[in-house]
Amino acid sequence: MFKKVLIVTVLLISFASSASANTLYEVKKGDTLSKIAKLNKVTINDIRSWNKLTKDSVYIKQKLVVKKPAVATKTPAKVVTTKPVVVTSASKQETVVTPVQVKDAQLITAPFQEQEKSLSGKGQAMYPLIVDFAKRLEGIPYVYGGYTMSGFDCSGFIYFLHTQAGLDITRQSSESYFAQTSVVSIPVVGDLVFFQNTYKQGISHMGIYIGDNKFIHAGSKGVEVTSLDSSYWKEHFVSFNRFNALTVK
């Protein structure tokens, strides 16, 4: 079983890397939206749609999605076989737990452990693609309420990544996303991480766990990778969570 899981995981990671590598384009001096569209053999409307652009102006080093994002239907099915368990109570959702560092073996086997909340197979199968794509967006500026390649806030970043992967998710606040998830004791790369009492009381920030006790998020300095060992994030850490269900659009 372990060998089979490892093979499926490797296939997913390989697919994610090749897909993301061909998806992003960094704007250079002299580029225009029409020039970029022609270069990548797509339409201006495609670029507008994929990047949720409201205007045609671009700036140097801006990152744009220039290929139709891969969707979950292209990923091998039946990756997750866990059975649903009872959702943790609301009172437990606010319990602060210590961040854990996940070992390689756990990253492969954790989705199959029955004590964790089940996620739709197609949803969690897209974790490698989501994480790989997220890393390629480092440096995009922070914009309050933003959910486009021009800028993100924390929940907008989560929304953008999941919709680009073809998953059915609506634009909501980090607090609302927290309410739609369940706490997991052993996180896997791609799970969510939540924080409280940052700029407001209660759940106020979120990101994506990427392993080695680190997470990627849209912080005040833009999209960046941050360590959970940081004193600030340790103080505000709440829990690792997983969406109760994600489906393909």
Number of compact structural domains in the chain: 1
Active-site residue, selected from the candidate residues 217, 218, 219, 242 = 217
Q: Residue 185 domain-assigned?
A: yes
164 catalytically annotated: no
Query: How sure is the predictor about 231, in pLDDT bands with cuts at 50, 70 and 90?
Result: very high
Structural domain boundaries enclosing 185: 70-243
The CA-based diameter of the chain, rounded to the nearest angstrom, is: 56
d(CA 178, CA 190): 15
Instruction: Please give the single-letter amino acid code of residue 55.
Output: K
Q: Give the C-alpha separation, 135 to 138, whole Å.
A: 6
pLDDT at position 159 is 95
* 211-230: average pLDDT: 96
Query: Whole-angstrom Cα distance, residue 92 to residue 90?
Result: 5
- For β-strands 222-227 and 214-219, DSSP reports them as antiparallel
Annotated active-site residue 236? The verdict is: no
Of 154, 189, 223, 238, the catalytic one is 154
Please identify which of the residues 63, 205, 214, 242 carries the catalytic annotation.
205
Other residues' Cβ atoms within 10 Å of the Cβ of residue 128:
23
CA pair distance 226, 231, nearest whole angstrom? 11
| 186 in Cβ contact with 175 (< 8 Å) | no
pLDDT of residue 136 exceeding 70, the answer is yes
Give the mean model confidence (pLDDT) for residues 7-34. Answer: 58
Whether 135 is covered by a domain: the verdict is yes
Q: Band the pLDDT of 120: cuts 50, 70, 90.
A: low
Mind listing the pLDDT tens digit for each residue in 82-114?
A: 333 333 333 333 333 333 333 333 322 223 233
Instruction: Give yes or no for residue 37 having a pLDDT over 50.
Output: yes
pLDDT confidence of residue 89: 36
Identify the weakest region by mean pLDDT among 16-25, 98-107, 153-162, 238-247.
98-107
Rounded CA separation 19/68 (Å):
10
In a domain, 16, yes or no: no
d(CA 73, CA 247): 10
55: in domain: no
CATH number at residue 92: 3.90.1720.10
Q: Does the residue 229 lie in any domain?
A: yes
Measured between alpha carbons, how far is residue 3 from residues 9, 78, 108, 235 in Å?
10, 15, 10, 39
Examine residue 82 and state whether it is found in any structural domain, yes or no: yes
Q: For residue 124, what pLDDT is reported?
A: 66
Nearest to 128 by CA among 208, 242, 214, 237: 208
Domain presence at residue 171: yes
Mean pLDDT of the 138-160 span: 94
The percent of residues above 90 in pLDDT, for the chain, comes to: 40
Joined together, the tokens standing for residue 21 give 């590598």
Would the pLDDT of 228 be above 60?
yes
Q: Is 205 a catalytic residue?
A: yes
> How far is Cα 163 from Cα 159, in angstroms, rounded to an integer?
6
Tokens standing for 159? 């929304």
Average pLDDT over residues 170-198: 94
Does residue 189 sit within a domain?
Answer: yes
Report the alpha-carbon distance of residue 209 to residue 225 in Å, rounded: 10
